Amino acid sequence: MNSQAITADTLLHAGWIVPVVPRGAVLENYSLAISGNRISALLPRAAAGVIEAADELELPDHVLLPGLVNCHGHAAMSLLRGYADDRALMPWLQRHIWPAETTHVSAQFVHDGVELAIAEMLRAGTTTWSDMYFYPDVCTAQARRLGTRCQVTFPILDNATVWARDADEYISKGLALRDAVKHSDLVTVGFGPHAPYTVSPDTLQKVAVLAAELDAPVQIHLHETRGEVLQAVEQYGERPLESLHRLGLLGPRTQCVHMTDAGDQDIARLAASGAHVVHCPQSNMKLASGACPVTRLLQHGVNVALGTDSAASNNNLNLFAEMQCAALLAKLQSGDATALPASEALAMATINGARALGLEDRIGSLEVGKQADVIAVDLGGPETQPLYNPLSQLVYACNGSQVSHSWVAGRPVLAQGRLTTIDLDHLLPRIRAWRERIGSTAGQTLDQ
């Protein structure tokens, strides 16, 4: 060891590093060091000789980038992937999904569904995700056990479900969970009022007060369809976004999921409030819900992140596919092929997602001092050759299967394409058993 040496736990030598900050930067022949749970160095390969690491990895065909951030989903619903396709949102929910959930959702359902979702997400580069579902305590335990970073927004509804009787019980159980995991480095717990059409104004106001007191994140489905907005105007005389504003629920801690129906006034309101938008293009297209005006939101300074929504309405949890869709849809919508370029789509899947979840100072970019949430993507295969521009390949050519390695807070969770915290031989038979159980009752909920 020479006298100037710096020590690290892991030293990665990559063909390229895309740090995301600064936007659009591509560093060729660079190295990244991990010490403990943090990034401790980012420097040209030629200068990396000063670092002595316990583990050193050569990744010559790979690009390193920050772990992807999936800002909206219902992980356990992966058990309903492909269960009821090709239907509009409300019939899909009312005639299929909600009845199936009433019959089957349990702590074990969430345990297994979340593990399936995490396996899929890690294999495609997602290291941080947000969840809104019943048994958030089980989801939280799974996220921690399997080594992923997660924002758990506990569900809040007015009606009784398998998890709680009424809004007060949802909130009290959720706050107990928040208290129980307040020291976790990996999991943050926030409020998940489902939507303005399932949660009353009184409850939304209560959430606003509590979230402000606790400085906690709030995630809500909002303006998912034009029908939702029209119905609210009829019932309350105002658009749901305006109701949220009036109830004190719209601010920098608020994550508005979908926003497919957003006019100039809505965009101005979002921009003034500092609220975030989570764009879920594949789910919106599959349910024919509409298309979020991403380009205009970004132009007005609104932070827009990406989400998959659940595997029941997508039908995958692959953020590479979501990036590609977001970019293509923005071009189609605006009639402008320069809209949402690759660097911006990648920012939405990383640093914008981190900002939406209030984790911008910890994750979302590869910068010294940030948490070591890092993924390696192998661009050496035929699907991503020849390589003129790594950013272009990442957004327009990758399908997620090129992700070879992932670290979360410095811990390897995917190595050479193999999950290190999940045993698929143990998981997949359990998932097949769920298919037997759920499939056997599917006929009860199908319409004609």
Binding site for Zn ion (CB under 5 A): 309
Q: Which is nearer to Zn ion, 189 or 287 (CB)?
A: 287
CB of 177 to Zn ion, least distance (A): 20
Residue 259 beta carbon to Zn ion: minimum distance, rounded to whole angstroms: 13
- Cβ distance to Zn ion smaller for residue 112 or 309: 309
Strand partners, 52: 7
Distance between CA atoms of 97 and 291, rounded to whole angstroms?
22
Least separation in angstroms between residue 6's CB and Zn ion is: 45
Q: How far is the CB of 255 from Zn ion (least distance, A)?
A: 11
User: Closer to Zn ion at the Cβ: 101 or 309?
Assistant: 309
- Shortest Cβ 168–Zn ion spacing (Å): 23
Beta carbon nearer to Zn ion, 122 or 220: 220
For residues 97 and 80, the answer to whether their CB atoms sit within 8 Å is yes
- Cα angle 164-170-173, degrees, rounded to a multiple of 5: 100
Residue 226 Cβ vs Zn ion, minimum distance, rounded to whole Å: 17
Give Cβ neighbours of residue 20 (< 8 Å, ≥ 6 apart): 65, 66, 346, 347, 350, 351, 364, 365, 366
Comparison of 309 and 378: residue with beta carbon closer to Zn ion: 309
User: In the bound complex, which residue of the shown chain has the CB atom lying closest to Zn ion?
Assistant: 309
Which CB sits closer to Zn ion, 207 or 379? 207
Q: How far is the CB of 195 from Zn ion (least distance, A)?
A: 9
Q: CB of residue 170 vs Zn ion: minimum separation in angstroms?
A: 16
Our CB check for Zn ion shows the closer of 25 and 195 to be: 195
Nearer to Zn ion (CB atom), residue 247 or residue 257? 257
In the complex with Zn ion, the residue whose CB is nearer, 309 or 322, is 309
